[in-house]
Each structure stands twice: as C-alpha cells, then as structure tokens.
Amino acid sequence: MDKIKLCWKKIPIPVAFMFCSITAILLALLCTNLTMRFAQSGQAMIQEKYIEIDLDALKPANDSEGLVEAVPGEDSEKYQLIQLPPSAFSEEDQQKYSFYEYTEEMAAICWYTVFLLLAATIFYFWKIRTPFRVLTEATEKIARHDLGFEVADCGQDEFGRLCRSFEEMRKELVKNETALWRASEERKRLNAAFSHDLKTPLTILQGHTDMLLEDLPDERCSRTELFESVRTISRQVTRIHDYVKTMNSIQKLEDYEIHPEPLPPSDFIQILSDIVFGLFAPEKAEIISELSEEPLNIDSQVLSQICENLCSNASRYTKDMLQVTVLRKRDILTLIFLDDGPGFSPNDLKAAVRPYYRGDNSEKSTHFGLGLYICDLLCQKHGGTLSIENNSQGGAKITVEIFCD
C-alpha cells in the first residue's frame, strides 16, 4: 500500500485525474451492464412462469399490446409469443417486474454517480488532502511568525513542487529574519558603543564648560588657560562631529546594495596597487597575483573600500614589509594581507571585528576602531568572509574571501 501511495504521489495531477475518471467510467459501464443483465434475467424468469400457454390457440388481439405477432408460414399463418404484459402476472410478480424495470432504467445513473463520487473521493484523499493540509498549516504558522518548522515533501507532482516552493520560501524568510535580527543586534551594539565612546568627549566638554562658567565671571582664568580650554572644547566637538559622520557612513554601508560587474584581473590589480603604494613605499610593500585572465564578477567599489581599510589598518602596525597575495579558487576570490607588525593579542583575535574596538593601544589611538568591522560588514554583503589570525612567522594575517562568479 505504501508503494502504491508513493507511486501515486509521483503521477502528475492531470494524469491522476484522467486515470480516476476513466477508471470510474469503465467500472460504472461494467456494473451497469451486469445490472441490466440481472434485471433482464429477472424479467425473463417471471415471463417463463406464465408461458405455459397453447401456442396454437394464440391469436392476435387488439389489446395484446403487440405482445403476439403473426409469423407467415408455408401452410398457414402462425403466431409467436413475444412477452406477456405485467397485467397478466400476479400482484407479487407485478411488483418484482416493476422493480426489475426500474433497476434497468436507473442502473446507468446510479452506477455512474457512485463510481464518479468514489473516484473524486479517492482523488481528493490520496492526491489533494495531504498537500492542502500541509500548505494550510504552513500558511497559518507563517502568519503567526512561527518559522520553526519544515514543509513536508508531498511528492513529485504539481502539489509536491508547490510544497517545495513553500519550503524554499520559508527558508528565505528564516534567513531574512535572522539577518534582520543580526542587523538589529548589531545596531544595538553600535549604538551602545557609540554612546559609550561619546561619554568621554562629553565629559571633557562638560568639565571645561563648568570651569569656564565658574572662573570667567571672577576673571580667575588666565588667557593661556582660557585658550587651552577653548582648544580642548574644539577638539572634542570635532571628535563628536567625526563620530556622527562615521555613524552615517555605517548606515549607508548597511543600506548599500551590491552590484557585481565583470572586471578584468589586470584592472583589479591596478586598483589594488594604487591603494597599497599610496600608503606604502615601493620597497615596503609587495603584491603577489596568482589570477588568470578570467574576469572577476565583483563590486569593485566594495572591494576597493575593503582593501583601503585593511591597508590603512596595516600601515599603523607594519614595520618593514606588507605582503598582499591575490588568488582565485573556482568562484572564490581570496586576498591575504600579511604584515610584520606585533600581530593580534588574544583579546584582539576575539574582538577585533567588533565596532569601536581599538585593541590594547586604544588610549594612544586616534581612530575609532571601525576599520575591520566595516571590512567584515562589506565581506558579508558580498557573500564572503573575513578572518584574522597571527602569521606563523610573526605579524598579523587577514584573509578576505568573496564570491566572484
């Protein structure tokens, strides 16, 4: 039975419908024929009970209703009995005869109705009910924002394809919901980090403002102290302004849509060279390209920003040499940045891609700690990854992998 149901699920809906319909018609035709034979046999049995009549005495009669007909013979006209009228039977046999007549008349209608309804029922329960139930339950769960389920596979027919499409839609919804949740969490972390980092300049501003408000009226503040306070306030205002610009830039990056276009490898190497040797002297940087002539299907603007941020980050720590290796494996473009700086500390390896993380030298650093975070964000948008580790020979190693096909 299970094998029959499995094979039934693979049959296309139009074929299954035609099969059910034709089977129902053939069965109805067979049963109608058998029923009519049964009715005719019953009528014949009743007729035979009353045929013990002298055939030579038969004469055509006006009231015979065509039940006796003349048959021409050689010597004289003979007569043949066709059938007796129901009025010639007993009351009980008349009822039986009427039943057989009614059965004969209604056989086709009854059997066709029965088998067509049976075929429709089988078609519904074996072909329609299960996928309808599965799709209805899936729709109700999705409407309740419940995506923690799987849409069952309902076969290889049209309903099966519809169920699989529903499952793909559910997976996309889960992926989008996860992405939205991550974006929301990332936004919360950004806002928290932004608020935390704003406390320092705001505290400094508040302190110098309070000092000026307190000392200026009594002229207890010298001209030099006044100048230093104003300069400090100006620096902190500039820092806050830069923070706001940075947040706006991140928002634009989060909303940026990737637009990959074919780019010749030579053009990409030229873009990379402009970035690297714009920050490093020729003797302090090296680019190793293992690319073929096959075009790279990438968003050059995004990749340029990734390379620029990573090279800018490396310029703060590299001592003598930065090495950038570019290679392609199938549809993955890989960029490896190796420097001979101090490398990453254990804390850096855990948190370097977090927003506003400035590592162990945060007190002396003037940057906001967003370079690696922005690179990681852009890599994810391009369907890739960014990984950081320490080079076995010393220094930091940053690997970027993005789709380029």
The end-to-end CA distance of the chain, in Å, is: 48
CATH 3.40.50.300, applies to 147-255:
no
- Is the pLDDT at 2 greater than 70? The verdict is no
Nearest to 402 by CA among 274, 276, 279, 305: 305
Instruction: For the chain, give the longest Cα–Cα distance.
Output: 163
In three-state secondary structure terms, 8 is helix
**Residue whose token pair is 């039986």:** 96
What is the C-alpha separation between 405 and 325, in angstroms, rounded?
19
Region of 317 please: left (phi>0), alpha (psi -120 to 50) or beta.
alpha
Q: Residue 269: its pLDDT value, please?
A: 92
Q: Residue 330: its pLDDT value, please?
A: 85
Q: pTM for this one?
A: 0.50
379 in Cβ contact with 385 (< 8 Å): yes
What is the C-alpha separation between 95 and 352, in angstroms, rounded?
99
- The CATH number of the structural domain formed by 261-403 is 3.30.565.10
Strands (E), 78-206: 78-81
The two structure tokens encoding residue 22? 């034709």
Which has the minimum average pLDDT: 53-67, 134-148, 365-379? 53-67
- Is the pLDDT at 360 greater than 80? The verdict is no
Burial 285-321 (b: 16+ CB within 10 A, else e): beeebebeeeebebbeebbbbbbbbbbebbbebbeee
What is the C-alpha separation between 221 and 43, in angstroms, rounded?
132
- Is the pLDDT at 33 greater than 50? The verdict is yes
30 in Cβ contact with 107 (< 8 Å): no
Q: Quick one: average pLDDT of 271-293?
A: 90
Q: How confident is the model at residue 267 (pLDDT cuts 50, 70, 90)?
A: very high
Where in the chain do CATH 1.10.287.130 domains reside? 147-255
Which DSSP category does 319 fall into? S
What are 86-98's pLDDT values in tens digits? Answer: 777 788 888 888 8
Per-chain mean pLDDT for the chain: 78
Q: How confident is the model at residue 194 (pLDDT cuts 50, 70, 90)?
A: low
**Dihedral of CA 382/387/391/396: which sign?**
positive
Where in the chain do CATH 3.30.565.10 domains reside? 261-403
Higher pLDDT, 251 or 31: 31
What are 204-262's pLDDT values in tens digits? Answer: 777 777 777 776 666 666 777 777 777 878 877 877 777 677 667 666 666 777 888 99
Region of 41 please: left (phi>0), alpha (psi -120 to 50) or beta.
alpha
